[in-house]
């Protein structure tokens, strides 16, 4: 079951890398946001391959913040995704 999802994720990652590297019209800011998403996804994927699961270790509930436990790879994915959404929304008015 995990192998199926891993293959799907790797397929999408290869498509993202191909599009980002071979498209000269993609600006550097978009490439960096895609890089963050890719790096976080690869880090979590490597953990699944090597450990069988993703190890989440940042627990904000210990300082009184009600939030799920996460890791640095999750942070990279979320920052990259929000940056990509921000770039998309700000570019809509320029067209």
Tokens of 41: 């996804």
Catalytic position from the list 74, 78, 81, 83: 74
- CA torsion through residues 56, 57, 58, 64, sign: positive
In 3D space, the residue among 65, 36, 50 whose CA is nearest the CA of residue 6 turns out to be: 50
User: Catalytic annotation on 74?
Assistant: yes
> 56, 71, 78, 84: which is the annotated catalytic residue?
56
Residue labelled with tokens 């890791």: 71
> Which uninterrupted H or E stretch holds 78?
helix 72-92
Q: Indicate the DSSP class of residue 36.
A: H
Q: Which residues are catalytic?
A: 56, 74
């Amino acid at each position: 079951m995990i192998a199926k999802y891993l293959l799907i994720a790797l397929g999408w990652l290869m498509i993202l890398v191909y599009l980002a590297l071979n498209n000269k019209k993609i600006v550097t800011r978009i490439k960096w946001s895609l890089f963050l998403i890719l790096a976080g996804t690869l880090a979590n994927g490597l953990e699944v391959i090597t450990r069988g699961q993703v190890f989440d270790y940042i627990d904000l509930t210990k300082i009184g913040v009600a939030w799920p436990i996460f890791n640095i790879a999750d942070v990279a994915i979320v920052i990259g995704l929000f940056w990509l959404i921000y770039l998309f929304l700000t570019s809509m008015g320029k067209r």
